[in-house]
Each structure stands twice: as C-alpha cells, then as structure tokens.
C-alpha cells in the first residue's frame, strides 16, 4: 500500500530541495536575531528539546519503534551532531549570520578526508584541489584590509564545520540501521541536554533574558521549519533526483543565509565576506561536481 505518490519528476524534486536549502539558509539570521534576546545555551536547549518532543509524539502516533544503536557509530553521531549545533549556535553570538553560513559550509571540504579514516572511502583528487580555494576564501573573510576580522565566533564556527563533517560520515555508517526520524530525535535530545548543562555558565554573564514574541517566532521557525519540515522534504524528495544535483543545490545554503541576513535583518556584507564567500562557494562546487565523469561523457 502506498502512503503517498511516487510519481515525482526530477524537476519537481529539485524545486523542493531548493526550498529546503532556503529554509536552512534563513535559520542563520533567525538564530542570530534570537541570540540578542537569550543566551545561546537556552535557545539551543529549547530548540532541540521541542524538536525531540515533537518527533517523539510523531513516532508514537505512527507506531514507529524508537530504536537507536548506542555503539561506536551511534555515539559518534550523537557527539558530532551535538558539537556541531553547540559550536554553531555559540559562534553566532559573536560572528555574523552571513559569515557563519559560509564558514559552516566548509564541512563539504572536510567530509572526503574524514570518510577515508572512518568510512574507508578514498578522497578524490579534486578534493585536494578544492582545499586551497577554501583556505583562501576563509583568509579573505578574515582579512582586515577588506573589512574582515577574526573573533572567537569564527573559530567556533569552523569547529562546527568539522563536527558536521563527522556527523555526515557517522550518518552514512548507521543510516541503514535507524529510522530517519529516530536518527534526528536521539541526537536532538542529547544536544538539548548538553545545551542546558552549559546554561549556568552563560547565565552568570547575562544581565537580562527577554522571553517575548520575537523569541517564540525564532524558536517556532527553527524547530518546525528548520528541523522537522526541512528534514521531511529532504528525505521525501531527494531520492527522485541524482546525488550530484542535490549536493550542488545544498551548496547554496550560505548564499541564502547571506541574502536573508541582508534582506530581513539589515546585515551589512563586507567586501571580505563577499569575496571569501564566493571562493568558499567555488570550492564547495568543485568538490561536489563529477568532473571526471563529465569529461568522459561531455554529451
């Protein structure tokens, strides 16, 4: 029995993936705006706790068993997922939404080399060629001559890119063992727990917490759209397009982050972030594009 239509064209699937990438891009300025109201630990703790709770209810209603393997790969996924979101959210307290988007996208560069160590997949030669572009792009974003600068948020965000690269590799190792919703539920639960454990350290430096309508809108967007809806759309439509097209669409996430930061939150994009972002984006495209296959079969 089919629960939904499988008659989906690649064009329709790609349009939905563009929407998913836009949803993820908007989370950067939304989180940045929310962190002006509450500490990162409180925001992330609430976001992940609500996400886990909603997923638990959905799984119970659908009568899907909540099974999660707490072996090396499963624990690795939890730790990398948690570290990624913690470092990214805490980093956004100090860096801009647009820079955070481009620096987070560096995970694309790290994945091939982590895959060699964890999943025993050898990186392609093109991966080595993309590294200088990514390094150069990161350097431009931090260049004082072009209006850039280094701060603790940038270091935390680069750390989050490494953590998300680990997450992708660990996900590929246990993806066939765990239901996709459970694979989000369990790491989200632990991420919320870790965020709340770090909250007392932040509260000692916070003068005021503003629990208002703007904060609830930010939480609502990141929980419902940024986590649950985006994950569902990705899992629902990605199988109907090829992996290369999907990965190239996902590289647009930092572009959407910068666009929405300027459009809705009046963020100023410095020349350093503009040039550096383009170089990082180019590195992401190079590492994803199947040049060898394309040159063999150009037509």
HEC-encoded secondary structure of 95-150: CCHHHHHHHHCCHHHHHHHHHHHHCCCCCCHHHHHHHHHHHHHHHHHCCHHHCCCC
For the chain, give the mean pLDDT: 81
Residue 161 lies in a domain: yes
Does residue 38 contact residue 211 with C-beta atoms inside 8 Å? yes
pLDDT for 295 beyond 70: no
Residue 163 lies in a domain: yes
Average pLDDT over residues 66-80: 86
How many independent structural domains does the chain possess? Answer: 1
Neighbouring CB atoms inside 10 A of 150's CB total 12
Q: What is the pLDDT of residues 117-152, one digit of tens each?
A: 655 555 566 666 777 777 777 777 776 665 567 889
Alpha carbon distance 87, 162 (integer Å): 10
Q: What is the pLDDT of residue 144?
A: 64
Residue 2 lies in a domain: no
Alpha carbon distance 226, 51 (integer Å): 10
Residue 50 lies in a domain: yes
Q: Return the exposure string of 111-133: e unless at least 16 CB atoms fall within 10 Å of the residue's CB, then b.
A: bbbbbeebeeeeeeeebeebbeb
The two three-digit tokens of residue 281, written as one number: 């984006």
Whole-number Cα distances in Å, 142 to 156, 221, 262, 285: 14, 30, 19, 22
Whole-number Cα distances in Å, 242 to 21, 91, 175: 16, 33, 18
Alpha carbon distance 182, 67 (integer Å): 7
Any idea which residue has 């570290």 for tokens?
83
Among 162-166, 246-250, 289-293, the least confident range? 289-293
Q: What is the pLDDT of residues 47-65, one digit of tens each?
A: 999 999 999 999 999 998 8
DSSP, collapsed to helix, strand or coil, labels residue 6 as coil
Residue 283 lies in a domain: yes
Average pLDDT over residues 18-31: 92
Q: What is the pLDDT of residues 197-216, one digit of tens each?
A: 988 877 766 666 777 888 99
Q: What is the pLDDT of residue 46?
A: 94
10: pLDDT confidence band, cut at 50, 70 and 90? confident
Residue 299 lies in a domain: no
Q: What is the pLDDT of residue 179?
A: 80
pLDDT > 70: percent of the chain: 83
User: Which is more confident, 244 or 159?
Assistant: 159
Residue 41 lies in a domain: yes
Residue 18 lies in a domain: no
Surface-to-core class of residue 224, CB atoms within 10 Å of its CB (0-12 exposed, 13-18 middle, 19+ buried): middle
Q: What is the pLDDT of residue 107?
A: 82
Residues spanned by the domain of 270: 33-290
Helices (H), the chain: 10-34, 40-61, 72-91, 97-104, 107-118, 125-141, 152-174, 180-203, 213-220, 230-237, 243-250, 253-265, 271-288, 291-296
1-10, 170-179, 181-190, range with greatest mean pLDDT: 181-190
User: Which is more confident, 75 or 111?
Assistant: 75
Which phi and psi (to 5°) does residue 69 adopt? -80, 115
């Amino acid at each position: 029995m089919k629960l939904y239509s499988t008659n989906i064209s690649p064009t329709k699937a790609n349009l939905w993936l563009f929407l998913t990438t836009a949803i993820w891009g908007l989370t950067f300025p939304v989180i940045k705006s929310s962190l002006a109201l509450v500490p990162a630990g409180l925001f992330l703790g609430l976001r992940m706790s609500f996400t886990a709770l909603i997923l638990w209810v959905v799984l119970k209603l659908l009568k899907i068993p909540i099974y999660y393997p707490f072996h090396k790969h499963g624990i690795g996924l939890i730790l990398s997922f948690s570290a990624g979101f913690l470092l990214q959210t805490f980093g956004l307290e100090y860096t801009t939404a647009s820079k955070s988007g481009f620096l987070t996208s560096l995970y694309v560069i790290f994945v091939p080399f982590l895959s060699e160590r964890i999943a025993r997949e050898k990186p392609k030669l093109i991966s080595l060629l993309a590294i200088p572009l990514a390094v150069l792009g990161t350097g431009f974003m931090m260049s004082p001559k072009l209006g850039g600068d280094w701060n603790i948020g940038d270091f935390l965000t680069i750390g989050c890119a490494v953590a998300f690269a680990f997450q992708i590799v660990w996900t590929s190792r246990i993806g066939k063992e765990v239901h996709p919703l459970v694979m989000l539920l369990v790491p989200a639960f632990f991420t919320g727990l870790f965020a709340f454990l770090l909250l007392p350290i932040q509260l000692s430096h916070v003068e005021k917490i503003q629990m208002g309508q703007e904060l609830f809108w930010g939480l609502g967007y990141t929980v419902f759209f940024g986590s649950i809806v985006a994950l569902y759309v990705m899992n629902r439509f990605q199988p109907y397009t090829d992996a290369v097209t999907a990965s190239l669409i996902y590289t647009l996430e930092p572009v959407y982050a910068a666009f929405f930061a300027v459009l809705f939150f009046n963020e100023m994009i410095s020349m350093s972030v503009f040039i550096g972002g383009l170089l990082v984006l180019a590195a992401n495209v190079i590492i994803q594009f199947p040049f060898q296959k394309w040159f063999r079969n150009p037509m």
